[in-house]
């Protein structure tokens, strides 16, 4: 008894070569390292998140330069009318300023926290 055989044509899939050299979605690094290609969507997602935070900072602070101007923004800063204290401590549960000026009373000068962990 003869077994009928079907002729099945197999389709050879040729991988599509994507040019990442001018990518603006976070995948441009793949141009220099093709081993990153399986992570292209993750790179896009991370870049999108970065863009969102960057735009939030620019909207609220005015620019990235103003946001990163630590020497004029953080620590003890002399201002008209007194001294201001500001620090970045996002994991802190609370921040209080103590010293000779308040007899080391850690409950008298509590700081308030903003949404970015700045006290």
Q: Tens of pLDDT along 18-71?
A: 999 999 999 999 999 999 999 999 999 999 999 999 999 999 889 999 888 878
Partner residues linked to 88 by β-bridges: 118
pTM for the structure as a whole: 0.57
Q: Token digits for 73?
A: 């923004």
Across residues 92-117, what is the average pLDDT?
93
pLDDT for res 116: 84
Q: pLDDT tier at 75 (50, 70, 90 boundaries)?
A: very high
Strands (DSSP E) contained in 34-96 are 75-79, 82-86
């Amino acid at each position: 008894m003869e077994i009928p055989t079907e002729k099945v044509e197999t389709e050879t899939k040729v991988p599509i070569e994507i040019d990442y050299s001018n990518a603006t979605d976070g995948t441009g690094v793949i141009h220099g390292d093709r081993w990153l290609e399986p992570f292209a969507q993750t790179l896009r997602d991370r870049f999108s998140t970065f863009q969102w935070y960057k735009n939030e900072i620019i909207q609220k602070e005015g620019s990235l330069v103003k946001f990163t101007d630590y020497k004029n923004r953080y620590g003890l800063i002399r201002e008209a009318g007194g001294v201001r204290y500001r620090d970045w401590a996002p994991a802190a549960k609370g921040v209080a300023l103590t010293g000779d000026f308040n007899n080391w009373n850690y409950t008298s000068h509590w700081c308030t926290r903003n949404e970015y962990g700045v006290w």
